[in-house]
Each structure stands twice: as structure tokens, then as C-alpha cells.
A = this chain, B = another copy of it.
Amino acid sequence: MVGSRIDVGLMGATGTVGLRLAEMLEAHPWFRLAEAGASAGSAGRRFGDALADLGVEDTALSDAVLDLELREPDGEWEAGLLLSALPSDAAAPIERGLAVRGHLVVSNASSHRMDPDVPLIIPEINPEHLELLERQRRRWPGAIVTNPNCSVAGLAVALAPLHRAFGIEAATAVTMQALSGAGRSEGLAERVEDNILPYIPGEEEKIGLEAQKILGVLTGEGIRPAAFPVSAQAHRVPVSHGHLLAVSVKLEREATPEEAAAALSGFEPALDVDLPSASHRLIEVLDERDRPQPRLDRDRGAGMTVSVGRVRRCEALDLKFSALVHNLVRGAAGAALLNAELCRVRGLLGVGGVGAGRGAAP
């Protein structure tokens, strides 16, 4: 029954991540996509028509959703819970304004990720960081919750078990990032054909800072980030979906590749409840020596599993391995949805709580 699902609004619905979120909401057991918004140019248009304008023909969206009239993101929303797939430059003031008006904004945008009182969460890794929301209450009645950058989503998941088991002293990560992870970029398609771009604006800084925050410790003063340095080199490659990372780590306590693989595959998520969008396996360690590969492994766990392979000694640091994350799912749309689910089980939706928009219902 529709009536039993919680209405949510979706901002940035016509972008790649927004569209994926809309599709994931179609059959969601808890949430129902009731409102959608896009940039000023599309506001007032039918969702399906705006997608067609952008050359998007095939979607898995129902007619009810395609018939939604797009609103301006900074306008009025009925839903208490808003999912944000806005571009980062637009997101900052809009999301803040909505928090002021009492909405719970679960955002994939980078704008607020590093704010001291905004939790940056991967539910299986650091769900306790959600307590930062108490610090937000001093600022506004609503709340902003964020998920990490698409590369960090894979890196932090792969580092967490090693950090917990052996302590990490330093990490390097060379990323090979898929096309669908790029924001709108004029002529990207032809620039990456038969080519690799060794630079993605702002990406390397995000990878280091966000990984440290996620793996940090919640204290009375806020998050104390993990102290180990993370050095990233980010590349755009001609692959449709799936970010591949070549990682090396220096450990505080010695570990063989076998012990590290065991720590990875045996990792117990730091979450005591089942969330609908969580995969059965957070991490899958592959045995074949030529895996993970983007095309073959990105869809594991419906895109929510991080695949790790080739765990072996590193001649320069201690260990090295490959990790693969589906940038649009575990790295963006699925990550935001998972955070929304976490918010619900933590009781953050509903009357009297944050996120009690005009249309919100428990």
C-alpha cells in the first residue's frame, strides 16, 4: 500500500545520480517518491519530458513518477525527508535553507560533507557519527546527513577492516574512475575516448579528507579524524560504471596478505539492523588474480558490494590490493538511500523529530 510508505522528495532528479535514486525508490519498501525537483530551467516541466530533453529515453520509472511536475529545489516541499542529488555548487545554500525550514536533507552533494557538525556516513562503517546531528540542532530544526564521494565510498570500506585489525599508518590510492561519476562536463565523452585524464578537479583532496573523517572517532568535541595520511591520484578512464582503485597501505601492526584478506572478508559491519538497501556482503574478496574488473564485478550485491582482490605485499609500503566500487550505487545513489534508511531506524523521521515536513508521517 502506498499509504504506508513515507513520502520523500528528490532534489536534482534529472541528473545521473538523481535518476538512479528515483529508480531505486520505485520498489522501495519504506519510501515513496512523492516530489521531485531540478534546476530552474526544468522547473515546471513534467519529469519525463525534462528527461527526454536531456536525451534520456529509457528509464525504469513508473508513469506516476514520470508525471511528477518538477519543482525548484529551493521552493516549498511537502515531504519531511529530502534526498539531494544536487550539483555541489548549487547544493550548499539550498540544503542549508531546507534544514532551517525543518527538513531532513540526506545529501550526496559534497558541499557540507566536511562541516564539523554534519555527519559523513557509511552505515556499515561509522553509524555512530549520526550523533553529530545533536550539534546541528543548535543551528536549525532540520538536519543534513551526507555520504562520501564515490571513490571514498570504496576506499573507506576497504580500509576500515584493516584499520580496525592492524591500524593504518599511511595509504596511497590511485583511482581509475568511470565516466558516470563525472558531473556535467562539456565534451567529456570525446575527451576520454582512447585516453585517460590524470586530473579530476578537487577529487584528490576530497578522497583524503573524507576517508579520514569516516574512519575518525566521535568525541565530545566532534569527529577526530583518523590520523594517517591518504595520498590520492585520481584519473578519469573510458569505462561506463565502476571506479577501480589501486591501494597501498602501511600498517601499524604487521600482517600477512592472508591475514589482511581474512580481515577484509570477515569484517563485521558496525550496524546491528538490516537496512533494505544494504547488500548481504559489504566486502567480497575475490581469489582470481585478475580481479576485480569494472565490467565483471561492479554489479555485485546489486552494486552495493565493494570487491577487493590481489591482496599482496607491497615492496614500498606493507600491503597493496585492488578495490572496486560501483560509483553510482555504493558511491552515490545507494549510499544516500542507505543513509536515509539509517535515519529512519534511528527514529529521525516523524512527528516532533527533525525531518517533520508538512507531509511527513512516521
- A: interface residue count bin: 35 or more
Interface status of A273 (Cβ within 8 A of chain B): no
The digit string for A11-31, where 1 denotes a CB below 8 A from any CB of B, is 000111001000000000000
Please pick, from B15, B239, B296, the residue contacting A186 in the complex, using a CB distance under 8 A.
Answer: B15
> Chain B residue with minimal CB distance to A16?
B187
CB distance from A44 to the nearest CB of B (A): 16
Distance in Å from the Cβ of A185 to the closest Cβ of chain B? 4
Q: Which residues of B contact A272 (CB under 8 A)?
A: none
> Nearest CB to that of A15 among chain B residues?
B186
Is the Cβ of B314 less than 8 Å from the Cβ of A172? yes
- The distance in angstroms between the C-alpha atoms of A56 and B184, with both chains bound, is 11
Q: Are A196 and B294 in contact (CB under 8 A)?
A: yes
Q: Quick one: which of B208, B291, B314, B320 contacts A315, CB cutoff 8 A?
A: B208
Expressed in whole angstroms, the Cα–Cα distance for A183 and B16 within the complex equals: 17
At the interface with chain B, which of A152-160, A230-238, A263-271? A230-238
> Which chain B residue has the least Cβ–Cβ distance from A40?
B41
**Which residues of chain B have C-beta atoms less than 8 A from A293's C-beta?**
195-198
A284 to chain B, nearest CB (A): 15
Interface residues of A in 201-237 (CB under 8 A from B): 201, 208, 229-231, 233, 235, 237
Cβ contact within 8 Å between A57 and B231: no
Q: Specify which of B194, B248, B250 is in contact with A294 (CB 8 Å cutoff).
A: B194
State the number of copies, please. 4
Instruction: Please state if A290 and B198 are interface contacts (CB–CB under 8 Å).
Output: yes
Q: Residue of B at shortest CB range from A328?
A: B190
| Distance between A16 CB and nearest chain B CB, rounded to angstroms | 5
Give the contacting residue for A198; candidates B178, B190, B310; CB below 8 A.
B310
A157 to B19, CA, bound (A): 36
Asked if A288 and B58 sit within 8 Å, CB to CB, the answer is: yes
The answer for the CA separation of A291 and B185 in the assembled complex, in Å, is: 17
B19, B189, B197, B246: the one contacting A290 at CB < 8 Å is B197
B57/A195 in contact, CB under 8 A: no
Least Cβ–Cβ distance between A58 and chain B, in angstroms? 6
Given contacts A174-B233, A231-B316, A290-B57, contact A193 B194 (CB under 8 A): yes
Q: State whether the Cβ of A32 lies closer than 8 Å to any Cβ in chain B.
A: no
A16-B187, A189-B179, A316-B172 are known contacts. Are A295 and B195 too (CB-CB below 8 A)? Answer: yes
Show 20 A/B contacts (Cβ-Cβ < 8 Å), sorted by A: A15-B186, A19-B186, A51-B186, A55-B182, A55-B188, A58-B290, A170-B315, A172-B314, A179-B189, A193-B194, A193-B240, A193-B295, A194-B238, A194-B240, A194-B294, A196-B293, A197-B293, A198-B309, A230-B316, A248-B316
> Given A229-B316, A231-B248, list of 10 further CB < 8 A pairs?
A14-B186, A57-B289, A180-B190, A189-B240, A199-B289, A199-B290, A208-B315, A231-B314, A233-B320, A238-B238
| Interface set of A (CB-CB < 8 Å, partner B) | 14-16, 19, 51, 54-58, 170-172, 174, 176, 178-180, 182-199, 201, 208, 229-231, 233, 235, 237-241, 244, 246, 248, 250, 288-296, 309-310, 314-317, 320, 322
